[in-house]
Amino acid sequence: MTTEQKKANRTLDFNGFPGYWEIRKTTEETNGEFFETKMKLEEPGKLPPHRHPIAEESYEVLTGEMEVYAGGEWLKLTAGEKHTVPPDKVHAFRNKGPVEVLNIHKPALKYEEYFRRFHQLKTKAGVEMPPKGIRAMTLLAMLQVEYEREFISSNPPQWLFRLLAGLGRLLGYKIPE
């Protein structure tokens, strides 16, 4: 594999939402201890409330600023500041302008696989965020349900994702590999 191919394999460009991610430490490189990315978010955006049942998630702002919703309040983080969300705690984030963030999920579980497949939904299946239309919503729901050990949505509720995922299976939908 060439240097360019290796770099491309570590780049997840989500075409806007949630921006551009550089995989800094793969699951394999850390022996499953953690999965680390550098998120570069150029446009204002937000990630809806969710939780990770058995993993913590940490954010370290490298440039710019972002807000993290945790413990029932929004915390403003600027360059050099960090925040770690414990396992099973509802959280979200939003940014009003350009921001670069070091993002770590610990333990790694299948986060790398989840984010790579989410990338495929965006780039290969054309799923926009927020999803538009029943096909897009159903494909996203199928992904969410497949990775419930990693990610549980709070809003929309996870039961709705399960319902849509069941519909997707009945319709023969497949998440791109």
| pLDDT, tens digit, 9 for 90 and up, residues 116-163 | 999 999 888 888 888 889 999 999 999 999 999 999 999 889 999 999
| pLDDT the model gives residue 123 | 87
pLDDT of residue 7 exceeding 80, the answer is: no
Q: How far is CA 83 from the centre of its chain?
A: 17
* Stretch(es) of the chain classified as CATH 2.60.120.10: 3-106
Contact 131, 137 (CB under 8 A): yes
Assess whether pLDDT exceeds 80 at residue 6: no
pLDDT band with cut points at 50, 70 and 90 for residue 74: very high
pTM (2 d.p.): 0.90
Assign residue 171 a region: left if phi > 0, alpha if psi is -120 to 50, beta otherwise?
alpha
Cβ neighbours of residue 52 under 8 Å, at least 6 residues apart?
A: 85, 87, 88, 105, 150, 151, 152
Q: Distance between CA 147 and CA 167 in Å, rounded?
A: 17
Choose among 140, 142, 150, 163: nearest CA to 114. 150
Q: Is the pLDDT of residue 5 over 80?
A: no
What are the structure tokens assigned to 23, written together? 């995989």
Taking alpha carbons only, the member of 83, 77, 111, 81 closest to residue 95 is: 77
pLDDT band at 17 (very low <50, low <70, confident <90, very high): low
Question: What confidence tier does 8 reach under pLDDT thresholds 50, 70, 90?
Answer: low
Give the chain's end-to-end CA distance (angstroms, integer).
Answer: 20
Task: Supply the pLDDT for residue 62.
Answer: 98
Cα–Cα distances in Å, from 70 out to 17, 90, 177?
Answer: 21, 7, 33
The CATH architecture annotation of domain 3-106 reads: Sandwich (2.60)
% of the chain at pLDDT higher than 70: 94
Beta partners for 152? 51
Q: Taking 90 as the threshold, does the pLDDT of residue 20 lie above it?
A: no
